[in-house]
Amino acid sequence: MKKFLLLNVLIVVSLRLMAQDEELLTFEKAVEIGLENNFDVKIATNQVLLTENDRKIATSVLMPTVDLNNTRGYRREDTEQAFVSDPENPRIIPGAQTRTNNYSLVAIYGFSADAVVALQRLGKLAEVSELEAKVVIENTVAAIATAYYRLVLEQQRYDVLNNTLELSDERLEIAKAQYEFGRASKRDFLAAQVDYNADLTALVTQEQVIQNSRVNLNELLAMDLEDNFAVRDTITIKEDLSMEELTESAYSQNKMFLATQRMENVAYLQLRELRAQRLPTITLNGSYNDNTLNSDAGFLLSNQQQGINLGATISLNLFSGLALNRQIQGAKIQINNQRHLIEQFENQMQADLQRTFNTYQNSKRLLEIERKNYEVAVENADIALDRFRLGIANYLEFRDAQVNRLQAESRLIESLYTIKENEIELMRIAGKIYFPEEI
Protein backbone atom coordinates (compact mmCIF):
# COMPACT_ATOMS: atom_id res chain seq x y z
CA MET A 1 0.00 0.00 0.00
CA LYS A 2 2.80 2.42 0.89
CA LYS A 3 4.57 1.70 -2.41
CA PHE A 4 1.34 2.38 -4.29
CA LEU A 5 0.78 5.70 -2.56
CA LEU A 6 4.41 6.69 -3.09
CA LEU A 7 4.09 5.98 -6.82
CA ASN A 8 1.02 8.22 -7.06
CA VAL A 9 2.79 11.06 -5.25
CA LEU A 10 5.77 10.75 -7.59
CA ILE A 11 3.49 11.06 -10.62
CA VAL A 12 1.92 14.26 -9.33
CA VAL A 13 5.30 15.75 -8.36
CA SER A 14 6.80 14.93 -11.75
CA LEU A 15 3.92 16.69 -13.53
CA ARG A 16 4.47 19.79 -11.40
CA LEU A 17 8.21 19.80 -12.09
CA MET A 18 7.56 19.59 -15.82
CA ALA A 19 5.36 22.71 -15.62
CA GLN A 20 7.97 24.59 -13.59
CA ASP A 21 10.76 23.89 -16.10
CA GLU A 22 8.77 25.27 -19.05
CA GLU A 23 9.53 28.70 -20.45
CA LEU A 24 6.79 31.29 -19.87
CA LEU A 25 4.94 32.29 -23.03
CA THR A 26 2.93 35.48 -22.59
CA PHE A 27 -0.12 36.16 -24.71
CA GLU A 28 1.55 39.16 -26.34
CA LYS A 29 4.53 37.01 -27.30
CA ALA A 30 2.23 34.31 -28.65
CA VAL A 31 0.50 36.81 -30.94
CA GLU A 32 3.85 38.16 -32.10
CA ILE A 33 5.10 34.67 -32.94
CA GLY A 34 1.83 33.76 -34.63
CA LEU A 35 1.76 36.81 -36.88
CA GLU A 36 5.34 36.08 -37.89
CA ASN A 37 5.07 32.33 -38.43
CA ASN A 38 1.44 31.45 -39.16
CA PHE A 39 1.10 30.07 -42.68
CA ASP A 40 -2.34 31.57 -43.33
CA VAL A 41 -0.93 35.01 -42.51
CA LYS A 42 2.05 34.48 -44.81
CA ILE A 43 -0.18 33.35 -47.68
CA ALA A 44 -2.57 36.28 -47.19
CA THR A 45 0.34 38.73 -47.13
CA ASN A 46 1.78 37.29 -50.34
CA GLN A 47 -1.65 37.48 -51.95
CA VAL A 48 -1.70 41.23 -51.27
CA LEU A 49 1.69 41.54 -52.96
CA LEU A 50 0.42 39.60 -55.99
CA THR A 51 -2.67 41.80 -56.29
CA GLU A 52 -0.60 44.96 -56.03
CA ASN A 53 1.80 43.59 -58.63
CA ASP A 54 -1.10 42.89 -61.01
CA ARG A 55 -2.31 46.46 -60.55
CA LYS A 56 1.13 47.85 -61.37
CA ILE A 57 1.37 45.64 -64.46
CA ALA A 58 -1.99 46.96 -65.62
CA THR A 59 -0.74 50.55 -65.50
CA SER A 60 1.37 49.72 -68.58
CA VAL A 61 -1.83 50.07 -70.60
CA LEU A 62 -1.60 53.86 -70.19
CA MET A 63 2.09 53.98 -71.04
CA PRO A 64 3.49 54.23 -74.58
CA THR A 65 5.51 51.42 -76.10
CA VAL A 66 8.87 52.30 -77.65
CA ASP A 67 10.85 49.83 -79.76
CA LEU A 68 14.30 50.22 -81.24
CA ASN A 69 14.98 47.98 -84.23
CA ASN A 70 18.11 47.35 -86.25
CA THR A 71 17.96 45.15 -89.32
CA ARG A 72 21.06 44.22 -91.26
CA GLY A 73 21.15 42.20 -94.47
CA TYR A 74 23.86 40.80 -96.71
CA ARG A 75 23.49 39.07 -100.05
CA ARG A 76 26.16 37.72 -102.43
CA GLU A 77 25.19 36.34 -105.83
CA ASP A 78 26.27 36.17 -109.48
CA THR A 79 24.28 38.73 -111.46
CA GLU A 80 23.58 39.16 -115.15
CA GLN A 81 21.75 42.33 -116.13
CA ALA A 82 20.41 43.24 -119.62
CA PHE A 83 19.46 46.86 -120.21
CA VAL A 84 16.95 48.20 -122.72
CA SER A 85 19.50 50.58 -124.13
CA ASP A 86 21.93 47.77 -124.99
CA PRO A 87 20.23 44.38 -124.84
CA GLU A 88 22.98 42.69 -126.82
CA ASN A 89 25.65 43.35 -124.23
CA PRO A 90 24.38 42.22 -120.85
CA ARG A 91 26.27 43.23 -117.75
CA ILE A 92 27.73 40.28 -115.88
CA ILE A 93 28.81 40.81 -112.26
CA PRO A 94 30.14 37.71 -110.53
CA GLY A 95 29.74 37.70 -106.72
CA ALA A 96 27.73 40.92 -106.60
CA GLN A 97 27.20 42.04 -103.01
CA THR A 98 24.22 43.84 -101.52
CA ARG A 99 24.25 45.28 -98.01
CA THR A 100 21.31 46.79 -96.13
CA ASN A 101 21.37 48.48 -92.74
CA ASN A 102 18.07 49.78 -91.34
CA TYR A 103 17.47 51.56 -87.99
CA SER A 104 14.01 52.42 -86.68
CA LEU A 105 12.72 53.92 -83.47
CA VAL A 106 8.97 53.26 -83.16
CA ALA A 107 6.66 54.69 -80.49
CA ILE A 108 2.97 53.75 -80.16
CA TYR A 109 0.49 55.17 -77.66
CA GLY A 110 -3.06 54.01 -77.41
CA PHE A 111 -5.70 55.57 -75.18
CA SER A 112 -9.09 54.12 -74.32
CA ALA A 113 -11.46 55.27 -71.61
CA ASP A 114 -12.23 51.72 -70.46
CA ALA A 115 -8.54 51.17 -69.65
CA VAL A 116 -8.60 54.11 -67.23
CA VAL A 117 -11.68 52.72 -65.48
CA ALA A 118 -10.10 49.26 -65.42
CA LEU A 119 -7.14 50.68 -63.48
CA GLN A 120 -9.53 52.19 -60.95
CA ARG A 121 -11.26 48.82 -60.62
CA LEU A 122 -7.95 47.05 -60.05
CA GLY A 123 -7.10 49.64 -57.41
CA LYS A 124 -10.32 48.78 -55.54
CA LEU A 125 -9.54 45.08 -55.86
CA ALA A 126 -6.14 45.76 -54.31
CA GLU A 127 -7.91 47.44 -51.38
CA VAL A 128 -10.19 44.40 -51.05
CA SER A 129 -7.15 42.12 -51.03
CA GLU A 130 -5.59 44.14 -48.21
CA LEU A 131 -8.82 44.00 -46.20
CA GLU A 132 -9.11 40.26 -46.74
CA ALA A 133 -5.54 39.84 -45.54
CA LYS A 134 -6.43 41.81 -42.41
CA VAL A 135 -9.43 39.51 -41.92
CA VAL A 136 -7.06 36.53 -41.98
CA ILE A 137 -4.80 38.28 -39.46
CA GLU A 138 -7.74 39.09 -37.18
CA ASN A 139 -9.06 35.54 -37.36
CA THR A 140 -5.58 34.22 -36.62
CA VAL A 141 -5.19 36.50 -33.60
CA ALA A 142 -8.65 35.44 -32.38
CA ALA A 143 -7.76 31.77 -32.82
CA ILE A 144 -4.46 32.27 -30.97
CA ALA A 145 -6.24 34.10 -28.16
CA THR A 146 -8.86 31.37 -27.85
CA ALA A 147 -6.23 28.60 -27.89
CA TYR A 148 -4.01 30.47 -25.43
CA TYR A 149 -6.75 31.02 -22.87
CA ARG A 150 -8.04 27.50 -23.42
CA LEU A 151 -4.62 26.30 -22.31
CA VAL A 152 -4.83 28.62 -19.29
CA LEU A 153 -8.26 27.15 -18.49
CA GLU A 154 -7.01 23.58 -18.73
CA GLN A 155 -4.10 24.38 -16.44
CA GLN A 156 -6.51 25.92 -13.93
CA ARG A 157 -8.58 22.75 -14.13
CA TYR A 158 -5.42 20.81 -13.47
CA ASP A 159 -4.84 22.84 -10.30
CA VAL A 160 -8.45 22.24 -9.21
CA LEU A 161 -8.07 18.50 -9.76
CA ASN A 162 -4.75 18.56 -7.95
CA ASN A 163 -6.35 20.24 -4.94
CA THR A 164 -9.11 17.65 -5.03
CA LEU A 165 -6.47 14.90 -5.09
CA GLU A 166 -4.76 16.41 -2.05
CA LEU A 167 -8.06 16.35 -0.14
CA SER A 168 -8.61 12.75 -1.24
CA ASP A 169 -5.11 11.90 -0.07
CA GLU A 170 -5.82 13.44 3.33
CA ARG A 171 -9.10 11.59 3.51
CA LEU A 172 -7.33 8.36 2.61
CA GLU A 173 -4.80 8.86 5.39
CA ILE A 174 -7.58 9.55 7.88
CA ALA A 175 -9.58 6.53 6.73
CA LYS A 176 -6.49 4.36 6.96
CA ALA A 177 -5.73 5.51 10.50
CA GLN A 178 -9.35 5.04 11.57
CA TYR A 179 -9.38 1.55 10.05
CA GLU A 180 -6.13 0.55 11.74
CA PHE A 181 -7.41 1.77 15.12
CA GLY A 182 -10.74 0.05 14.62
CA ARG A 183 -12.78 3.25 14.45
CA ALA A 184 -13.92 2.64 10.85
CA SER A 185 -14.65 -0.33 8.67
CA LYS A 186 -12.45 -1.58 5.88
CA ARG A 187 -15.24 -0.60 3.49
CA ASP A 188 -14.73 3.07 4.36
CA PHE A 189 -10.99 2.72 3.80
CA LEU A 190 -11.45 1.00 0.43
CA ALA A 191 -13.99 3.63 -0.66
CA ALA A 192 -11.47 6.36 0.17
CA GLN A 193 -8.84 4.51 -1.85
CA VAL A 194 -11.21 4.13 -4.83
CA ASP A 195 -12.08 7.85 -4.76
CA TYR A 196 -8.37 8.74 -4.52
CA ASN A 197 -7.58 6.60 -7.56
CA ALA A 198 -10.46 8.17 -9.49
CA ASP A 199 -9.15 11.66 -8.69
CA LEU A 200 -5.63 10.65 -9.68
CA THR A 201 -6.92 9.28 -12.98
CA ALA A 202 -8.74 12.55 -13.65
CA LEU A 203 -5.54 14.48 -12.92
CA VAL A 204 -3.43 12.34 -15.28
CA THR A 205 -6.13 12.60 -17.96
CA GLN A 206 -6.12 16.38 -17.54
CA GLU A 207 -2.39 16.40 -18.21
CA GLN A 208 -3.10 14.83 -21.60
CA VAL A 209 -5.73 17.52 -22.26
CA ILE A 210 -3.13 20.18 -21.44
CA GLN A 211 -0.62 18.59 -23.82
CA ASN A 212 -3.17 18.52 -26.65
CA SER A 213 -4.12 22.15 -25.94
CA ARG A 214 -0.46 23.07 -26.13
CA VAL A 215 -0.16 21.24 -29.47
CA ASN A 216 -3.16 23.20 -30.79
CA LEU A 217 -1.52 26.48 -29.82
CA ASN A 218 1.82 25.37 -31.29
CA GLU A 219 0.05 24.56 -34.56
CA LEU A 220 -1.36 28.09 -34.79
CA LEU A 221 2.04 29.58 -33.95
CA ALA A 222 3.74 27.30 -36.53
CA MET A 223 6.13 26.12 -33.83
CA ASP A 224 7.48 22.66 -33.15
CA LEU A 225 4.48 20.68 -31.96
CA GLU A 226 6.56 19.19 -29.15
CA ASP A 227 7.74 22.55 -27.79
CA ASN A 228 6.95 22.93 -24.10
CA PHE A 229 6.08 26.26 -22.58
CA ALA A 230 4.08 27.62 -19.70
CA VAL A 231 1.33 30.23 -19.93
CA ARG A 232 0.03 32.65 -17.35
CA ASP A 233 -2.18 31.02 -14.74
CA THR A 234 -4.92 33.67 -14.72
CA ILE A 235 -7.60 34.88 -17.11
CA THR A 236 -8.22 38.61 -16.92
CA ILE A 237 -11.42 40.08 -18.28
CA LYS A 238 -12.14 43.61 -19.44
CA GLU A 239 -14.50 46.08 -17.89
CA ASP A 240 -18.06 46.16 -19.18
CA LEU A 241 -18.17 46.45 -22.96
CA SER A 242 -20.67 48.82 -24.54
CA MET A 243 -22.98 47.50 -27.24
CA GLU A 244 -23.23 50.96 -28.79
CA GLU A 245 -19.46 51.35 -29.05
CA LEU A 246 -19.05 47.83 -30.42
CA THR A 247 -21.72 48.42 -33.06
CA GLU A 248 -20.22 51.74 -34.13
CA SER A 249 -16.78 50.15 -34.35
CA ALA A 250 -18.11 47.20 -36.36
CA TYR A 251 -19.54 49.50 -39.03
CA SER A 252 -16.30 51.44 -39.37
CA GLN A 253 -13.65 48.79 -38.69
CA ASN A 254 -15.01 45.33 -39.47
CA LYS A 255 -12.70 44.40 -42.33
CA MET A 256 -15.07 41.91 -43.97
CA PHE A 257 -17.88 44.49 -44.00
CA LEU A 258 -15.54 47.07 -45.53
CA ALA A 259 -14.40 44.54 -48.14
CA THR A 260 -18.02 43.83 -49.06
CA GLN A 261 -18.60 47.55 -49.54
CA ARG A 262 -15.49 47.81 -51.73
CA MET A 263 -16.82 44.98 -53.89
CA GLU A 264 -19.93 47.07 -54.58
CA ASN A 265 -17.60 49.83 -55.82
CA VAL A 266 -15.84 47.24 -57.97
CA ALA A 267 -19.19 46.26 -59.51
CA TYR A 268 -19.97 49.90 -60.31
CA LEU A 269 -16.54 50.33 -61.92
CA GLN A 270 -17.08 47.17 -63.93
CA LEU A 271 -20.26 48.71 -65.36
CA ARG A 272 -18.45 51.96 -66.16
CA GLU A 273 -15.64 50.01 -67.80
CA LEU A 274 -18.08 48.22 -70.10
CA ARG A 275 -19.91 51.43 -71.01
CA ALA A 276 -16.57 53.12 -71.76
CA GLN A 277 -15.95 50.54 -74.48
CA ARG A 278 -18.51 52.42 -76.56
CA LEU A 279 -16.22 55.45 -76.68
CA PRO A 280 -13.60 55.94 -79.43
CA THR A 281 -10.11 54.54 -79.02
CA ILE A 282 -7.21 56.75 -80.06
CA THR A 283 -3.86 55.34 -81.16
CA LEU A 284 -0.86 57.56 -81.88
CA ASN A 285 2.23 56.24 -83.60
CA GLY A 286 5.54 57.72 -84.66
CA SER A 287 8.82 56.39 -85.93
CA TYR A 288 12.27 57.53 -86.96
CA ASN A 289 13.90 55.50 -89.76
CA ASP A 290 17.45 55.36 -91.06
CA ASN A 291 17.76 52.98 -94.04
CA THR A 292 20.99 52.37 -95.97
CA LEU A 293 21.37 50.29 -99.14
CA ASN A 294 24.67 49.49 -100.92
CA SER A 295 24.59 47.19 -103.93
CA ASP A 296 27.07 46.14 -106.59
CA ALA A 297 24.25 45.47 -109.04
CA GLY A 298 20.92 47.06 -109.88
CA PHE A 299 19.70 50.49 -110.80
CA LEU A 300 20.70 51.89 -107.39
CA LEU A 301 24.24 51.37 -106.22
CA SER A 302 23.46 53.11 -102.94
CA ASN A 303 20.42 54.55 -101.27
CA GLN A 304 20.20 56.48 -97.96
CA GLN A 305 16.86 57.37 -96.32
CA GLN A 306 16.36 59.22 -93.05
CA GLY A 307 13.17 60.72 -91.60
CA ILE A 308 10.20 60.43 -89.33
CA ASN A 309 6.72 59.01 -89.81
CA LEU A 310 3.75 60.18 -87.76
CA GLY A 311 0.20 58.87 -87.68
CA ALA A 312 -2.98 58.66 -85.65
CA THR A 313 -5.90 56.24 -85.66
CA ILE A 314 -9.34 56.74 -84.18
CA SER A 315 -11.50 53.63 -83.98
CA LEU A 316 -15.09 53.24 -82.84
CA ASN A 317 -16.92 49.96 -82.48
CA LEU A 318 -20.30 50.22 -84.19
CA PHE A 319 -21.65 46.72 -83.66
CA SER A 320 -20.45 43.68 -81.73
CA GLY A 321 -23.35 41.31 -81.99
CA LEU A 322 -25.05 42.83 -78.90
CA ALA A 323 -22.41 41.14 -76.74
CA LEU A 324 -21.52 44.42 -75.04
CA ASN A 325 -25.17 45.07 -74.21
CA ARG A 326 -25.43 41.67 -72.54
CA GLN A 327 -22.28 42.31 -70.55
CA ILE A 328 -23.64 45.67 -69.38
CA GLN A 329 -26.90 44.03 -68.34
CA GLY A 330 -24.94 41.40 -66.40
CA ALA A 331 -22.92 44.12 -64.66
CA LYS A 332 -26.13 45.81 -63.52
CA ILE A 333 -27.35 42.53 -62.05
CA GLN A 334 -24.01 42.13 -60.28
CA ILE A 335 -24.39 45.58 -58.70
CA ASN A 336 -27.80 44.56 -57.42
CA ASN A 337 -26.34 41.35 -56.00
CA GLN A 338 -23.58 43.27 -54.23
CA ARG A 339 -26.18 45.49 -52.58
CA HIS A 340 -27.95 42.39 -51.31
CA LEU A 341 -24.64 40.96 -50.07
CA ILE A 342 -23.95 44.14 -48.10
CA GLU A 343 -27.41 44.03 -46.54
CA GLN A 344 -27.01 40.31 -45.81
CA PHE A 345 -23.60 40.77 -44.19
CA GLU A 346 -24.83 43.79 -42.23
CA ASN A 347 -27.75 41.76 -40.90
CA GLN A 348 -25.48 38.83 -40.05
CA MET A 349 -22.93 41.11 -38.38
CA GLN A 350 -25.59 42.73 -36.20
CA ALA A 351 -27.03 39.33 -35.27
CA ASP A 352 -23.61 37.86 -34.40
CA LEU A 353 -22.77 40.93 -32.35
CA GLN A 354 -26.09 40.84 -30.48
CA ARG A 355 -25.92 37.08 -29.80
CA THR A 356 -22.35 37.25 -28.56
CA PHE A 357 -23.06 40.31 -26.44
CA ASN A 358 -26.09 38.61 -24.87
CA THR A 359 -23.95 35.60 -23.99
CA TYR A 360 -21.26 37.91 -22.66
CA GLN A 361 -23.73 39.75 -20.40
CA ASN A 362 -25.29 36.52 -19.17
CA SER A 363 -21.86 34.99 -18.51
CA LYS A 364 -20.91 37.97 -16.35
CA ARG A 365 -24.05 37.51 -14.27
CA LEU A 366 -23.33 33.81 -13.93
CA LEU A 367 -19.78 34.63 -12.86
CA GLU A 368 -21.01 36.50 -9.79
CA ILE A 369 -23.28 33.59 -8.90
CA GLU A 370 -20.48 31.06 -9.34
CA ARG A 371 -18.11 33.13 -7.19
CA LYS A 372 -20.56 33.15 -4.30
CA ASN A 373 -21.35 29.49 -4.83
CA TYR A 374 -17.64 28.64 -4.79
CA GLU A 375 -17.15 30.44 -1.47
CA VAL A 376 -20.01 28.44 0.01
CA ALA A 377 -18.69 25.18 -1.44
CA VAL A 378 -15.20 25.80 -0.01
CA GLU A 379 -16.59 26.53 3.44
CA ASN A 380 -18.83 23.47 3.25
CA ALA A 381 -15.91 21.25 2.21
CA ASP A 382 -13.76 22.55 5.06
CA ILE A 383 -16.53 21.82 7.59
CA ALA A 384 -17.07 18.36 6.12
CA LEU A 385 -13.32 17.65 6.37
CA ASP A 386 -13.25 18.71 10.04
CA ARG A 387 -16.30 16.61 10.80
CA PHE A 388 -14.71 13.67 8.99
CA ARG A 389 -11.52 14.04 11.04
CA LEU A 390 -13.55 13.98 14.22
CA GLY A 391 -15.52 10.99 13.03
CA ILE A 392 -18.81 12.89 13.13
CA ALA A 393 -19.45 12.71 9.35
CA ASN A 394 -19.21 9.61 7.21
CA TYR A 395 -17.22 9.34 3.99
CA LEU A 396 -20.30 9.88 1.79
CA GLU A 397 -20.96 13.27 3.35
CA PHE A 398 -17.33 14.30 2.93
CA ARG A 399 -17.14 13.03 -0.65
CA ASP A 400 -20.33 14.88 -1.53
CA ALA A 401 -18.90 18.15 -0.17
CA GLN A 402 -15.61 17.49 -1.99
CA VAL A 403 -17.35 16.89 -5.32
CA ASN A 404 -19.51 20.00 -4.85
CA ARG A 405 -16.38 22.07 -4.32
CA LEU A 406 -14.75 20.56 -7.41
CA GLN A 407 -17.81 21.29 -9.54
CA ALA A 408 -18.21 24.82 -8.15
CA GLU A 409 -14.57 25.71 -8.86
CA SER A 410 -14.76 24.15 -12.31
CA ARG A 411 -17.87 26.18 -13.16
CA LEU A 412 -16.18 29.32 -11.86
CA ILE A 413 -13.12 29.04 -14.11
CA GLU A 414 -15.34 27.94 -17.00
CA SER A 415 -17.39 31.12 -16.55
CA LEU A 416 -14.22 33.21 -16.69
CA TYR A 417 -13.12 31.48 -19.87
CA THR A 418 -16.57 31.90 -21.46
CA ILE A 419 -16.47 35.64 -20.76
CA LYS A 420 -12.98 35.84 -22.25
CA GLU A 421 -14.06 33.85 -25.29
CA ASN A 422 -16.99 36.21 -25.82
CA GLU A 423 -14.70 39.23 -25.40
CA ILE A 424 -12.43 37.88 -28.13
CA GLU A 425 -15.35 37.33 -30.49
CA LEU A 426 -16.84 40.76 -29.77
CA MET A 427 -13.50 42.45 -30.45
CA ARG A 428 -13.12 40.44 -33.67
CA ILE A 429 -16.55 41.44 -34.95
CA ALA A 430 -15.88 45.06 -33.98
CA GLY A 431 -12.59 44.98 -35.90
CA LYS A 432 -10.53 45.84 -32.81
CA ILE A 433 -8.60 42.63 -32.26
CA TYR A 434 -5.23 43.71 -33.71
CA PHE A 435 -3.76 44.79 -30.42
CA PRO A 436 -3.07 42.17 -27.75
CA GLU A 437 -3.67 44.63 -24.90
CA GLU A 438 -7.28 44.92 -26.03
CA ILE A 439 -7.95 41.23 -25.49
Pick the residue with more confidence: 355 or 233? Answer: 355
Q: What is the pTM of this model?
A: 0.80
Q: Give me the half-sphere count of Cα atoms (radius 13 Å) on the Cβ side of residue 436.
A: 14
> Strand 229-230 relative to strand 23-24: parallel, antiparallel, unpaired?
parallel
- Domain ranges, ordered by start, for the chain: 2-37+112-279+316-438
**Best CA proximity match to 40, nearest among 141, 188, 124:** 141
What are the phi and psi torsion angles at 433 (to 5°)?
A: -100, 5
- In angstroms, the CA 294 to CA 277 distance is 48
Hey, which residues does 96 pair with through a beta bridge? 77
What is the tens place of the pLDDT at every residue in 32-76?
A: 999 999 999 999 999 999 888 888 887 777 788 888 898 888 888
- Give the rounded distance of the alpha carbon of 368 from its chain centre: 35
Average pLDDT over residues 102-121: 86
Query: Contact at 8 Å (CB) between 246 and 429?
Result: yes
What is the tens place of the pLDDT at every residue in 307-335?
A: 888 888 888 888 877 888 899 999 999 99
Average pLDDT over residues 369-390: 87
Q: In the chain, pLDDT over 70 holds for what percent of residues?
A: 91
Q: Classify residue 421 as exposed, middle or buried by CB count within 10 Å of its CB (0-12, 13-18, 19+).
A: buried
DSSP notation for 178-214? HHHTTSS-HHHHHHHHHHHHHHHHHHHHHHHHHHHHH
pLDDT at 390: 79
CATH number belonging to domain 2-37+112-279+316-438 = 1.20.1600.10
What is the tens place of the pLDDT at every residue in 404-428?
A: 888 899 999 999 999 999 999 999 9
Check whether 4 has a pLDDT greater than 70.
Answer: no
pLDDT at 11: 46
In this structure, what is the dihedral angle of CA atoms 316, 321, 325, 330, given to the nearest 10 degrees?
Answer: -130
For 182: left if phi > 0, alpha if psi spans -120 to 50, otherwise beta; the answer is: left
Average pLDDT over residues 105-116: 85
Check whether 246 has a pLDDT greater than 90.
Answer: yes
Check whether 5 has a pLDDT greater than 70.
Answer: no
pLDDT at 13: 47
What is the tens place of the pLDDT at every residue in 146-191?
A: 999 999 999 999 999 998 898 888 888 887 887 777 776 788 788 8
- Give the rounded distance of the alpha carbon of 6 from its chain centre: 49
**Best CA proximity match to 259, nearest among 47, 116, 439, 423:** 47
